[in-house]
Chains A and B, each alone.
Chain A
């Protein structure tokens, strides 16, 4: 076991954990970091600096609902004849730490329960005839590898601190683990250091109530949140708390600039949806065009959270009023510690984009077993043990029943009502990847109808609990406008502002779609369908995406590229439909050919109604 003080590097993460130790009301700390960076070692070492006896509970990823929130302990109940309650993991963590490794892989229903417990400070158990409230105030410490996917935004919203993700930290951390493992340190030193740190935190906890913050400082923090486009108002409370905790750690009674910087770094910047300087550029462009999609794919995402155009405009106004002091403070916080801040910002917006990606559904046949519930024997797999358990209480009464007379005494009498079937949780069926051609030639075609068709498909996809992703292609390369998500609203918004013009990088679109499909597969989504809305006239090669000066490939080369890609996509079992947007008299039959190569179906948009396309897509 490596102690907290033995860990070299990951300074920001350590600072974050110390703030949390001082003020548990910060909710928790999330540490995104690559594999082998020592993040989980650090998280586990967190217990070292907490007062002795603080619970530290590690949440297994495959936790079932009843383990998580508690329920009837059936074994004990049957044995004792009175109802026995088993507390869940969340309650066991009460007053202490709930640690989740690989937070982004946690099942969505588990995430919902954790969110609920965090917002109430307790767990409501309303299940299996049990109605109870158990205390569950805990600090959530989560670590995850961003390449595994992102953590749901709703959960992050309740966790105060998000340690910015930097590659640098990882490197240093790795080095330190080696030195520690080699045993270069004296265990007595370690023990002393830990004792000191615990003392420091104890003192800071005392100090906390004596620290004050001025209204101007609060205002400055809020201004910063506004200029960074952070969603929600809860975050203000976290930011102020973090600044106070930082001052308390320094045994001060007043919040100073460095406290505010630390709070901005750990709370606001990781949630930023825009960088202040960029906004100025965007202002000069016509609203339809901004933000330029190629240069900043993440900028597309940041528009989404604001529900109305006004709210954004208002935010911009606010921002112009931002006093220099705040601006400086913020830029300072961004620059000093985070050389690769762009990475962080894109992390935040990626999180947002994926927040809807819970393509999970409960079903009776496949996936992971979640719970047993009453049902018809034919409608699913019978959960034997729960069935027997639900039959058990009735044996006495049923035996007294005359109809049952003559049965051997030892026979169990099971009635239809006892039957429990298994419910499984599974990633839901299909991911629709829409690839919308936004090249110059589309202006001639029927962009409006195309958008209409996509929108109705989206509506349908939602009803079927499917997921959608949106890729547009124009200019040099394709880009993902919306990663797999269930949010139809977002997809629509993206479509609404989709600009057109430039070349047709069809190959790039196919490639990107294929990549997206592969990623989805690793997350358990098995059925994938491409919906291509295009005239099929690709004129930009794959190479152009990586090398702007690439020589324009010949028509044959382009065709070969498409053919190879299509072949691979088809071989991967990805279904496709091609919606041809070209007017008859202009067509040279490119789109039907594309459909053929992909082994998919072909539709001619000017004739096809949106509903027909929907039907075709769903009939697969």
Chain B
């Protein structure tokens, strides 16, 4: 290839984002815009997606309670996995962050991390200005390099002014938001290691060339892929709170509907968005209400006992299964507008929470979903018999 001169193009997008007009400090204090920079073209509206309820519910529950731990969407090709995840951005609620903070920190987080710095004066959270931003959705492409994921030194500043400035990476942008990896089963092993590390600690630490940065990096991990292309590393699999499965829709009427909507969208995206704007707003509102309701949702001890029994009967190691079910059931109840978690809520989400946690029995031919359903029925039956 020849030296094609794209040279004139001077990273306009990145410049706007990280603000390279920042003075020569170690860490840029300003961020012009949060992760929203990558809006190119309109995304297909979430509420216009036909079917695939399992995936949609998993995503919504993770918005309501990010502690659920993300969702892994595995299934057939061409079934709208990435379309759905990318559509998510439009129905997300807003969060408060310290104004222009590149790490999307709350005033409390800001103070906590800034105070840790050597020689820093302590900051009063009350003096900090905040702003509302939509929950960020950050796309991690397969070809991303480690330095862009974790953040690195700004080369340009180093070259022009000989100053060491930190340029935050995708993990910084994703703090308190969603980190999406399409084809997650094909992700390079060393990036998987980085993600596992950060996901476990909730912090990203960069030590390089005399720069030492640590910042919060808590995000909802969303991955999607096709199991036939390769499988996921067990450690990573375990990190996902929920596991949604997605298969080809076989209902002809639904498929006709998909084709129609897609064509309509392609022809006139704006009009299509408008058509669904009310539903989008309705969903957004419902999610916000659920978020508000969540702290008031309670669960009877008997339900907890049933959950524990379910996990025990299924032979699930550790307590992550119970914990995830409990949290997810709470979020589900809140989404349904209920203040009390019942086994009905549990039944709806148990498959999502446990599917990937069942111990693999090589001789087992029974589908994981069926097995879970059967156990739930059993547990419920026992409960009723008593």
- Interface, chain A (partner B; CB < 8 A): 25, 65, 67-69, 72-73, 76-78, 80-87, 89, 92, 108-109, 112-113, 115-116, 119, 121-122, 124-133, 135, 152-154, 157, 209, 215, 218-219, 222-223, 226, 231-237, 240, 304-309, 311, 314-315, 318, 352, 355-356, 358, 361-362, 371, 373-374, 393-394, 396-397, 415, 417, 448, 451-452, 454-456, 458-459, 462-463, 486-490, 492, 496, 610
Residues of B within 8 A of A235 (CB): 78
A126 and B259 contact, CB distance less than 8 A:
no
> How many whole Å from B149's CB to the nearest CB in chain A?
7
Residue in A closest to B369 when the chains form the complex, CB atoms: A308
B164 within 8 A of A: yes
Contact of A452 among B40, B78, B162, B363 (CB under 8 A): B363
Contact B247 A306 (CB under 8 A): yes
Contact, CB under 8 Å: A362 / B76 = no
Stretch of B6-14, B119-127, B292-300, B345-353 lying at the A interface: B6-14
B183 touches A112 (CB 8 A): yes
A128 CA to B367 CA, complexed, in Å: 44
B residues with CB within 8 A of A? 1, 4, 6-7, 9-11, 13-14, 17-18, 38, 40-41, 75-80, 82, 139-149, 152-156, 158-160, 162, 164, 167, 169-170, 182-183, 186, 188-190, 208-209, 226-231, 234, 245, 247-250, 252, 255-256, 258-260, 262-263, 266-267, 360, 362-363, 365, 367
Given A67-B1, A121-B41, A215-B256: A127 and B79 within 8 A (CB)? no
Smallest CB–CB gap between A117 and chain B, Å? 9
Is there an interface contact between B256 and A219, defined as CB atoms closer than 8 Å? Answer: yes
**Would you call B11 and A83 a contact (CB within 8 A)?**
yes
CB–CB A308/B367 < 8 A? yes
What is the CA–CA distance of A131 and B35 in the complex, to the nearest angstrom? 11
B319 to chain A, nearest CB (A): 24
CB distance from A14 to the nearest CB of B (A): 26
Please tell me if the beta carbons of A307 and B158 are within 8 angstroms of each other in the complex: no
- Cα distance A109–B187 in the bound complex, in angstroms: 10
Chain A residues whose C-beta falls within 8 Å of the C-beta of B7 in the assembled complex: 73, 76, 80, 84-86
26 residue pairs of the A-B complex, CB under 8 angstroms, read A73-B7, A84-B10, A85-B10, A108-B186, A125-B143, A129-B147, A129-B153, A129-B155, A131-B17, A132-B13, A133-B40, A153-B228, A154-B183, A215-B256, A232-B79, A233-B248, A233-B258, A236-B258, A236-B259, A314-B250, A358-B229, A362-B190, A373-B146, A393-B155, A393-B158, A448-B363
Q: Which chain A residue shows the least CB distance to B12?
A: A132
Partner of A157, one of B77, B141, B162, B252: B77
Contact A355 B228 (CB under 8 A): yes
Alpha-carbon distance A132/B16, docked complex (angstroms)? 11
What residues on B are CB-neighbors of A393 within 8 Å? 155, 158-159
Other than the known A129-B167, A226-B250, what 15 A-B pairs have Cβ atoms closer than 8 Å?
Answer: A25-B266, A83-B156, A84-B6, A84-B10, A109-B142, A113-B143, A218-B256, A231-B248, A234-B79, A237-B263, A307-B245, A307-B247, A455-B363, A486-B230, A487-B230
Q: Report whether A81 and B6 are in contact in the complex, using a CB–CB cutoff of 8 Å.
A: no
Contact of A116 among B148, B170, B183 (CB under 8 A): B183
Which of B164, B170, B230 counts the most chain A CB atoms within 10 A? Answer: B230
A397 CB contacts on chain B under 8 angstroms: 158, 162, 164
B188 lies within 8 A of A362 (CB) = yes
The minimal Cβ–Cβ distance linking A264 to chain B, given in whole angstroms, is 15
The reply to whether B6 and A85 contact each other, CB–CB distance below 8 Å, is: yes
Cβ–Cβ < 8 Å partners of A92 in chain B = 4
Residues in A whose Cβ lies below 8 Å from that of B139: 124
Q: Which chain B positions have C-beta within 8 A of A231?
A: 76-78, 248
Distance, CA A154 to CA B142, complexed state (A): 15
In the docked arrangement, what's the CA distance between A223 and B178, Å? 37
Q: Given the interface contacts A119-B182, A415-B209, A448-B363, does A131 sit within 8 Å of B79 by beta carbon?
A: no
Q: CB distance B231 to A488 under 8 Å? A: yes
Query: Considering residues A80, A81, A393, A488, which has the most beta carbons from chain B within 10 angstroms of its beta carbon?
Result: A393
Total number of A-B contacts with CB less than 8 angstroms? 242
- Find A234's partner among B77, B164, B169, B362 (CB 8 Å cutoff): B77
Do A417 and B208 touch (CB < 8 A)? yes
In angstroms, Cα B228 to Cα A399, docked, is 54
A390 to chain B, nearest CB (A): 9
- B140, A126: Cβ atoms under 8 Å? yes
- How far does the alpha carbon of A132 sit from the alpha carbon of B139 in the complex, in Å? 12
Q: Which residue of A lies closest to B149 (CB)?
A: A126
Shortest CB–CB separation between residue A392 and chain B, in angstroms? 8
- B228–A371 contact, CB under 8 A? no
Q: Is the CB of B147 within 8 A of A82?
A: no
CB-CB < 8 A to A309: which residues of B?
A: 367
The 6 closest A-B pairs by CB, nearest first: A232-B78, A455-B362, A234-B78, A127-B145, A126-B144, A393-B158
Nearest A-chain residue to B156, judged by Cβ: A83
* Contact in complex: B4, A132 (CB < 8 Å): no
Q: A218-B256, A306-B247 are in contact. Are A126 and B170 (CB under 8 A)?
A: yes
User: Cβ of A133: which chain B residues have Cβ within 8 Å of it?
Assistant: 13, 38, 40
Cβ–Cβ contact B6 & A128, under 8 A: no
Min C-beta distance of A345 to chain B, whole Å: 18
Known contacts: A132-B13, A231-B248, A233-B249. The answer to whether A72 contacts B155 by CB under 8 A is yes
Given A129-B152, A451-B362, A232:B259 Cβ within 8 A = no
Distance A504 CA – B140 CA, assembled complex (angstroms): 51
A431 CA to B266 CA, complexed, in Å: 45
Once the chains bind, are B145 and A126 in contact (CB under 8 Å)?
Answer: yes
Most buried by A among B152, B170, B234, B255: B255
List residues of chain B with CB within 8 A of the CB of A307: 75-76, 245, 247
A206 to chain B, nearest CB (A): 15
Smallest beta-carbon distance A504→chain B, Å: 24
Q: Which of B188, B248, B262 is in CB contact (< 8 Å) with A232?
A: B248
Interface contact B259-A153, CB-CB below 8 Å: no
Provide the bound-state CA to CA distance between A73 and B8, in Å. 11
Closest to A315 in B: B250
Which residues of chain B come closer than 8 Å to A458, judged between CB atoms? 362
Q: Is the CB of A489 within 8 A of B38?
A: no
Q: A25-B266, A355-B228 are in contact. Are A129 and B182 (CB under 8 A)?
A: no
Q: Are A487 and B227 in contact (CB under 8 A)?
A: yes
B11 to A218, Cβ gap below 8 A? no
Contact at B256–A308, with CB atoms within 8 Å? no
Q: Decide if A356 touches B230 in the complex (CB within 8 Å).
A: yes
User: Whole-angstrom distance between the alpha carbons of A232 and B228 in the complex?
Assistant: 14
CB distance from B367 to the nearest CB of A (A): 6
- A58 CA to B190 CA, complexed, in Å: 31
What's the nearest-Cβ distance from chain A to residue B361, in Å?
A: 9
Give the residue of A82, A215, A318, A358 whose beta carbon is less than 8 angstroms from that of B156: A82
Partner of A129, one of B141, B154, B258: B154
Q: Tell which of B226, B227, B266 has the most Cβ of chain A within 10 Å.
A: B226
Also in contact, A459 and B256, with CB within 8 A (given A119-B82, A396-B162, A415-B209): no
Most chain A C-beta atoms within 10 Å of own C-beta, residue among B148, B155, B167:
B155
Q: Which residues from B are CB-within-8-Å of A226?
A: 250, 252
Tell me the complex Cα distance, A222–B252, Å: 7
A402 to B252 CA separation, bound complex (whole angstroms): 75
Assuming the A-B contacts A81-B159, A124-B141, A127-B145, are A362 and B229 also in contact, with contact meaning beta carbons closer than 8 angstroms in the complex? no
Give chain B residues whose Cβ lies under 8 Å from the Cβ of A68. 143
Contact B209–A373 (Cβ < 8 Å): no
B250 & A240 in contact (Cβ 8 Å cutoff): no
How far in angstroms is the closest Cβ of chain A from B24?
11
Residues of B within 8 A of A374 (CB): 146-147
CB contacts (< 8 Å) of B209 on chain A: these are 394, 415, 417
B146 x A232 contact (CB < 8 A): no
Contact among B17, B167, B226, B231 with A462 in the assembled complex (CB-CB below 8 Å): B231
Determine whether the beta carbon of B262 is less than 8 Å from that of A305.
Answer: no
**From residue B73, how far is it (CB to closest CB) to chain A in Å?**
13
Interface centre among A25, A231, A352, A355, by most chain B C-beta atoms within 10 angstroms, is A231
State which of A78, A82, A113, A215 has its C-beta within 8 Å of the C-beta of B10: A82
Query: A232-B77, A371-B145 known; A487 and B228 CB under 8 Å?
Result: yes
